[in-house]
Amino acid sequence: MKALALLLVIAVVATVVALTVATIRDYRRHRAIWRVIEKTKGKGVYLYLVKYGEEPVEVARVSIVDPDYEEAYTAAVFAAEQKAATMNANRKMLGYG
């Protein structure tokens, strides 16, 4: 009888933990915003939009060997930040956060 009671307690605790983890994950996904990150690969800088629970979206690529690298990089970052802001604003207007 004690073994059955222990098994029942373990099952209840496991269920509560699983529900808590699922609730936290859903809350984070619901409240997450799009952000810009950059990664350097080879001779290029790649800009991505990332959001918790979503696949990264590549939005720009700038070659490091480009003679106008600084200007191109600045323009790409500005455009990527604008896209992130637009996506976050659309999310709020549609009632997703």
For residue 62, give the 3-state DSSP assignment: strand
**Residue 64 backbone phi and psi in degrees, to 5:** -70, -30
| Domain ranges within the chain, ordered by starting residue | 1-31, 34-93
The model's pLDDT over 26-77, given as tens digits with 9 standing for 90+, comes to 777 777 889 999 999 999 999 999 998 889 999 999 999 989 999 999 999 9
Predicted structure pTM score: 0.68
Nearest to 90 by CA among 44, 34, 29: 34
